[in-house]
Amino acid sequence: MRLLRFSYIRTRSLLVLALILTAASALFSFTAISFLGFYKTFSSYLGEEEDIVAIYDRKSDTPFTGLVSMQLAVSVQSLQGVLAASPEVIVPVIAKGESMFLRGVVPAVFAKLTKLCLLQGDQLRLEDSDSVMMGIRLAERLRMDAGEKILAFAVLAQSYVELEVKGIFESKTALDDEILAPIYVGQWMRGIDYDHVTLIRVKIERSLVSPSRIFAELSREASEPSQGNEEGDGQQGGIVTWPRALFSIEDIGVEGAARFMKIYLDNYGVTEETILILSIMVFSLAGASVISASKTLIQQHKGEIEVLRSVGASNRTIRTDLLAKVLPWSVAFSMVGTGIGILALMIFERSGHLEVLSHGISFQFDPLILVLQLIVSSLIVALGILSSLRSQV
Amino acid sequence: MILLTLNMLFRKRGTAPSILAIALLVAILASMGSITNHINSEAEALKELVNIGETYIFLSKQSSSITSSQIDANLAGVLKTVPGVNHVLPQKIFKANMTVKSNEKAILLRAIADPDLFFDLRGGSLDGAKAKARGEACVGEILARMVGINLGDQVNLTINDVTIEVRVVGIFRTMTQSDSELVVPMEAAHNLTGSEGKVSMIEFTLEVDAMKDPIQNIYKLLPGDVEVMQVQQPGKFIQDINAQTLFFLNNWSLAVYAVVVAASHIVAARLTSESTYELAMLRALGTRKRHIFTLILTYMVTVATIGSILGVALGIAGAQTASTVAGWMLTSLNLAPFMELDQALELIILTQASSIVGSIFAAFKAAGKTFEELIL
């Protein structure tokens, strides 16, 4: 007897399974893709390129609240293989009634690390003490154009600034949700002196220098400060001073930029693996309903199964046949659910309302999510069918 | 009769797995919600750690910037009479063309009525003297470096063809925007702009131990065209960040409730499939369609209620257990998930509503069947 040719499963009954599998798969993909999107947006905040290194404050609990001496930028600049060292102050501010991040930079140096596409107005210069550039997503959110003024209030200090939007840029990174200002504006809003910054990003030639080599140089600098003048070599006469400041090497960390952000997430137990495990757990909890749906499907075909048994079909044959008939459908329903989840996320992404820490999340579909989804859903459906058949024997 | 039948339905084998299915879905929401509550409460606690200043500013409501703001200078006098107000500093801020050593640059000019108070409030350092006379000016460190201004330099300031000459008597560092400005006494600004009765803004501070009441009193005194703003706003930032997290969570919750709807449909479909005999008996005894419909919905609401209460308990207990275990493994992690009673109630009510939506079709279909259809 070849049961595979005997079509005894009613399409209408399959709809129950379709409903729950589609909904559970949509939930899984929504959870996994959105959480991974948040993780990837955050970890690539300072750039994903392997040639970008961050010098940061190891004592700080967040990437935004550390303080390192600005002089370190000068110290590493002299190393062979260091192409540019960009001191940056990243600070939360309130403007037009909304929260956002302002990044104080030395524009000429910053441009060596991050390419900005100017959409409106002009490029920012260090001399533009009352001007800023605004990322395109933020400008769209605030409905601002180049030439308009913005009054920003500090969060971490008693300070406010009135700034003119000199240009609007696009970077295709988290910067599109931020304000770029001359470095001293960031220092005003952070309430720190001109000697310190949040972190220093360094562009390196990887074949010539490594993060560990930079750390070694900073260790040497910390133990034997070079005998330069107080304002730092070759930096006098500019708007920004690079004063020498004593620092303890224990407080300084040097890592690849993406690794630097991941360190903070790791401290809170957030990794790509834990997010995937969490998503699978969410799906597994929803799996009780999938098992229930599988059992309902068997319950609704109790009569047909009994007929098959009465005409001599063994339990093994029925089991194999049911799995062969239902599993392809479950795979199809799971794929539809994943598609619905992705579609919902795309709608949210386009709406621009989905933000974490005032930064938009960019979602990327990982094929691993679909593979995991199909494996787990097939296993749960199979478990439901087999346990239901066993209870009928 | 209904209670008896309900009791009969509850004795079905599928009831316990149905309650468990709903409970596990609610547990997802409860655990995620309780962890988010912890994160948000930590963020709120950060607000307490930030040293919030007591500085406020008055600005014109119609203006889009400080430089275009125009408010009545007499408001400063009124403000000084409010108990709890510590310092009041009216200021005029506008763009001017500065010429020094044959270099010309557009700068921000800040005119102040009380130089002593200005430097007291800003703190920082001053090299030289405070500009108090009409022909004197102090320059911020950033501006001084930018243009190469030194103490004693003569500077020409021009607005709308009116030019005045001032001598730089001090170079200061305040770590505020003033470091890129030229600061002159208010009289110099009157010479340049001509308007004496108006200022751009009034900055004021409150006494540390009188932070709330004065602001309420000040609001009562404010003319309609003036608004008051706090200079440091950590509360607003934390509120926004928490709102963003909650927005994300609420949208994600919609996906979970969609699964609850689907799960409820399955529970109802399974119930009607398992209870064909009981429903047929009820129809045979003359039970109306409406009563069968109500019976199935009552069953579903009860299952959803028990499931959601169990789910809330499971979710919170699960999140707390997972947090404790994670805390053992990662010493930097200190999570304490919790859920407020109103949030738990909201979760239960939304689960009940989702369950009703999910089961309504199956209940309607079962209620619509005749005795003959049911037994066949």
The strand pair at A196-197 and A199-204 is best described as unpaired
Residues of B with Cβ-Cβ distance to A241 under 8 angstroms? 145
**A8 has a chain B CB within 8 A of its CB:** no
What local confidence, expressed as pLDDT, does residue A236 receive? 43
Cβ separation of B180 and A130 shorter than 8 Å? Answer: yes
Quick check: A235 pLDDT over 60?
no
Residue B350 token pair: 């939304």
Cβ separation of B241 and A288 shorter than 8 Å? Answer: no
Spatial distance between the Cα atoms of B85 and B97, rounded to a whole number of angstroms? 35
**Nearest chain A residue to B258, by CA:** A23
Spatial distance between the Cα atoms of A71 and A87, rounded to a whole number of angstroms? 9
First to last CA, chain A: 20
DSSP code, position A250 = G
Cβ separation of A30 and B252 shorter than 8 Å? Answer: yes
What local confidence, expressed as pLDDT, does residue B50 receive? 60
**Nearest chain B residue to A268, by CA:** B333
**pLDDT (average), residues A333-337:** 94
**pLDDT (average), residues A279-284:** 84
What local confidence, expressed as pLDDT, does residue A312 receive? 85
**B146 has a chain A CB within 8 A of its CB:** yes
Cβ separation of A162 and B67 shorter than 8 Å? Answer: yes
What local confidence, expressed as pLDDT, does residue A353 receive? 74
Spatial distance between the Cα atoms of B155 and B102, rounded to a whole number of angstroms? 10
Q: How many CB atoms lie within 10 A of CB B127?
A: 12
**Nearest chain A residue to B269, by CA:** A296
DSSP code, position B232 = B
**B249 has a chain A CB within 8 A of its CB:** no
Q: Domain coordinates of chain B in residue numbers? A: 2-48+236-375, 55-231
Smallest Cβ–Cβ distance between B66 and the set A151, A292, A293 belongs to A151
3-state class of B184 per DSSP?
A: strand
Quick check: A228 pLDDT over 60?
no
Residue B311 token pair: 């789910």
Tell me if A93 sits within 8 A of A152, measured CB to CB.
Answer: yes
Q: Per residue in A150-179, pLDDT tens?
A: 999 999 888 999 999 999 999 988 899 999
Rounded to 10 deg, the angle between the A11-43 and A257-267 helix axes is: 120
**Nearest chain A residue to B325, by CA:** A269
Q: Is B172 left (phi over 0), alpha (psi -120 to 50) or beta?
A: beta
Q: How confident is the model at residue A260 (pLDDT cuts 50, 70, 90)?
A: confident
Residues of A with Cβ-Cβ distance to B64 under 8 angstroms? 148-149
**A153 has a chain B CB within 8 A of its CB:** yes
Spatial distance between the Cα atoms of B312 and A262, rounded to a whole number of angstroms? 32
Of B223, B203, B232, B226, the C-alpha closest to B113 is B203
Average pLDDT for chain A: 87
**B70 has a chain A CB within 8 A of its CB:** no
Handedness of CA A358, A359, A365, A370 (dihedral sign): negative
**Which A residues in the span 326-345 are in contact with B, Cβ-Cβ below 8 Å?**
341, 344
What local confidence, expressed as pLDDT, does residue A175 receive? 92
Cβ separation of A288 and B21 shorter than 8 Å? Answer: yes
Comparing A30-44, A337-351, B213-227, the range with the smallest average pLDDT is B213-227
Higher confidence at residue A189 or residue B188? A189
Cβ separation of B230 and A153 shorter than 8 Å? Answer: yes
Of A35, A22, A74, the C-alpha closest to A279 is A35
Cβ separation of A267 and B251 shorter than 8 Å? Answer: no
Residues of B with Cβ-Cβ distance to A23 under 8 angstroms? 255, 258-259, 261-262
- In a mutational test of the B interface, the residue from A13, A38, A144, A296 whose CB has the highest number of chain B CBs within 10 Å is A296
**B153 has a chain A CB within 8 A of its CB:** no
Residues of A with Cβ-Cβ distance to B333 under 8 angstroms? 267-269
**Which B residues in the span 72-131 are in contact with A, Cβ-Cβ below 8 Å?**
93, 108
Smallest Cβ–Cβ distance between B326 and the set A99, A194, A269 belongs to A269
The strand pair at B103-112 and B181-185 is best described as parallel
Cβ separation of B236 and A94 shorter than 8 Å? Answer: yes
Tell me if B178 sits within 8 A of B122, measured CB to CB.
Answer: yes
Helices marked H in chain B — which ranges?
2-10, 15-49, 75-80, 115-122, 141-147, 186-193, 213-221, 234-274, 276-284, 289-329, 341-367, 371-375
Q: Per residue in A347-368, pLDDT tens?
A: 888 877 778 888 888 787 888 8
Smallest Cβ–Cβ distance between A286 and the set B229, B248, B259 belongs to B259
**Nearest chain A residue to B250, by CA:** A354
**A324 has a chain B CB within 8 A of its CB:** no
Tell me if B156 sits within 8 A of B107, measured CB to CB.
Answer: no
Smallest Cβ–Cβ distance between B146 and the set A23, A97, A127 belongs to A127
Smallest Cβ–Cβ distance between B233 and the set A27, A155, A288 belongs to A155
Of A171, A148, A214, the C-alpha closest to A49 is A171
Cβ separation of A299 and B247 shorter than 8 Å? Answer: no
The strand pair at B125-128 and B85-100 is best described as unpaired
- Give A33's Cβ-side CA count (13 Å radius): 27
Residue B220 token pair: 């009562």
Quick check: A2 pLDDT over 60?
no
Closest CA of chain B from A331, distance in Å = 18
Strand partners, A255: A54
What local confidence, expressed as pLDDT, does residue B52 receive? 61
Q: Per residue in B122-142, pLDDT tens?
A: 888 999 999 998 899 999 999
Higher confidence at residue A84 or residue A243? A84
pTM of the model: 0.83
**B46 has a chain A CB within 8 A of its CB:** no
Cβ separation of B255 and A268 shorter than 8 Å? Answer: no
Closest CA of chain A from B219, distance in Å = 19
Residues of A with Cβ-Cβ distance to B17 under 8 angstroms? 288, 291-292, 295
Residue A147 has φ and ψ, to the nearest 5°, of: 100, -20
Residue B338 has φ and ψ, to the nearest 5°, of: -150, 165
Smallest Cβ–Cβ distance between A30 and the set B142, B231, B255 belongs to B255
> Is A163 buried (19+), middle (13-18) or exposed (0-12) by CB count in 10 A?
buried
Closest CA of chain A from B1, distance in Å = 27
What local confidence, expressed as pLDDT, does residue B179 receive? 95
**B241 has a chain A CB within 8 A of its CB:** yes
Quick check: A230 pLDDT over 50?
no
Q: State the 10-residue block means of pLDDT for chain B, 376 residues long.
A: 81 89 93 87 69 80 84 89 88 92 89 92 91 92 92 92 92 94 90 80 82 73 85 87 86 91 91 86 86 93 96 92 81 79 95 96 87 66
What local confidence, expressed as pLDDT, does residue A229 receive? 47
What local confidence, expressed as pLDDT, does residue B212 receive? 59
The residue behind tokens 């959803």 is: B304
Cβ separation of A160 and B240 shorter than 8 Å? Answer: no
**Which A residues in the span 51-80 are in contact with B, Cβ-Cβ below 8 Å?**
none
**A304 has a chain B CB within 8 A of its CB:** no
**B187 has a chain A CB within 8 A of its CB:** no
Residues of A with Cβ-Cβ distance to B262 under 8 angstroms? 19-20, 22-24, 289
Spatial distance between the Cα atoms of B104 and B375, rounded to a whole number of angstroms? 98
**B278 has a chain A CB within 8 A of its CB:** no
Quick check: A392 pLDDT over 80?
no
